[in-house]
Every structure is written in C-alpha cells, then in structure tokens.
Structure 1
C-alpha cells in the first residue's frame, strides 16, 4: 500500500505530491549538486512519473541546463531546488529534492556518490557505501 506524500518549495508557490518513492536514494557530492543545493551534498528521491504530480505553481518552475546536458529545476520566486533531470532521461522517472517533502518517509539514503568531488570541509562518517563516481 502506498502513502501520499506532499511537498512544496520554500515560498509555497510550487506544490507536488508523490504516492510511491523508490527506496534507492544516494547523497550526491558532485560539484553541480553541491552548488545547486548550497550544501555539502544533495539527496534526491526518485519516483516513476505516474506516481508524481505537480499540484500548483508550474509556471514558477525554471530550468537550468548544464554543459553536460543535465537539467536542474528550481522555483523562480524562492530558488528552491526542485528536480534533477539526467542528460539521458527516458521520462520514466522523476528525481526530486527530498528536502521539499512535508512528511517523513520510510526510506533512508543508501550510499554516497561522486565523492571524488566532495567538499573538503565535509567528512563522510555514516558508514554508507561510498562511490568515487556513480554506482557500479
């Protein structure tokens, strides 16, 4: 049985819901994710596209496309990080910023990825598997 989770950006202008979050989620330490989130790493959840719905504020969504073809979406009003879209996106999944959820979820992060780019001031000490790049 799935549960309905709701989330929103900082200003509340963009709202979404997701009714099934995949359990595989890693902390990404790549330079772009760190800069996009303004933090040591980012953590995105993943859902099949049919389990994710925008509820309001779609006109506020802006997209930044990096040189490597990846896209990052954010709120035009408050700047909240919304989504990551890989360059080889098939449209099957939505990767969204877990920090936007209003509720706790039953899953926990299971790895650290792209750690060769990690912030020098952050030490990974949680015992999760560490990958210098993506998962093998």
Structure 2
C-alpha cells in the first residue's frame, strides 16, 4: 500500500495496488496544471484509490472532453486525473504527491511533441 497527500496535508489518500503505466506527460495541459515542464503520473484501477481525508476539499476541472483533473482547493496540489474514454475504470495519480517511497521500474515519456524548449535532458 502507498500513501500520499497534498502540500497542505488536508487531502490524504491510499493506493491499494501497485501503480502501473508511469509516464512523464509533456502535454500542454499537464504543463499548465503543474507549472512545470511535465507531470509524472502512475495509473491504477479507480477501485484501488481511497481518500482518507479531505475529499470535501478536492476540486475538479474538466481540462478536456474526456479528462477530469482533481486538486486540493486549499493548496492547489494536483492529485489525479481520470475519466479517460479509453480507460474509464482507471485513475492516474500525480506521483510527486506520494509520501510512501515509490520507485517505478519504467517511466515512459508521452506527448513529447509539446516538450518545452528549455528542458535539458541528461
């Protein structure tokens, strides 16, 4: 089991299975939402995500027709996105919000066509 929380600590959650399909997403929506060059998400079945506290302060935003993003309305931490038409029973968690150590064996880079020009790859 993995545990995570937002910056202010009002939202906390648990993951009840090993996250899958970890990716650095370079799309413009993730860049804007995170204020960063990319966002790193790990996917798992929605049924394996439990909010322990703060579900009442989670805000949601439809960033596109098929994606709903959730974040803490107090501190702004991005927590999840879901509602993908391709994978409706899955959720993607922003792994930077994990409090439990997690070391994915593989991370895929996606939407690299919109990568920022100032990101230095090493």
* TM-score, structure 1 as length reference: 0.81
2:71 alignment partner in structure 1: 74
1:97 to 77, 87, 94: 94
Shift of 1:55: 0.5
User: Larger relative CO (CA 8 A, sep 6+): 1 or 2?
Assistant: 2
> RMSD over aligned Cα, in angstroms?
1.7
Aligned length: 122
Shift of 1:93: 1.4
1:13-34 alpha-carbon deviations (Å, 9 max, x no partner): 0110012123321100000001
Give the whole-Å Cα distance in 2 for the aligned partners of 1:107 and 1:66.
27
Say which one has the larger Rg. 1
Q: Secondary structure at the match of 2:56?
A: helix
Distance 1:63 1:29, change over 3 A: same
Tell me if the contact between 2:83 and 2:91 (Cα under 8 Å) persists in the aligned partners: no
**Structure 2, unaligned runs of 5 or more:** none
1:53-72 alpha-carbon deviations (Å, 9 max, x no partner): 11111110111112443221
The question of 1:34 aligning with 2:31 is answered: yes
Give the whole-Å Cα distance in 2 for the aligned partners of 1:87 and 1:106.
25
1:53 alignment partner in structure 2: 50
1:63 alignment partner in structure 2: 60
Q: What stretches of structure 1 move > 4 A for 4+ residues in a row?
A: none
Give the whole-Å Cα distance in 2 for the aligned partners of 1:106 and 1:40.
21
1:35-92 alpha-carbon deviations (Å, 9 max, x no partner): 1111110011111122211111111011111244322111000000011124416542
**Structure 1, unaligned runs of 5 or more:** 126-136
* TM-score, structure 2 as length reference: 0.90
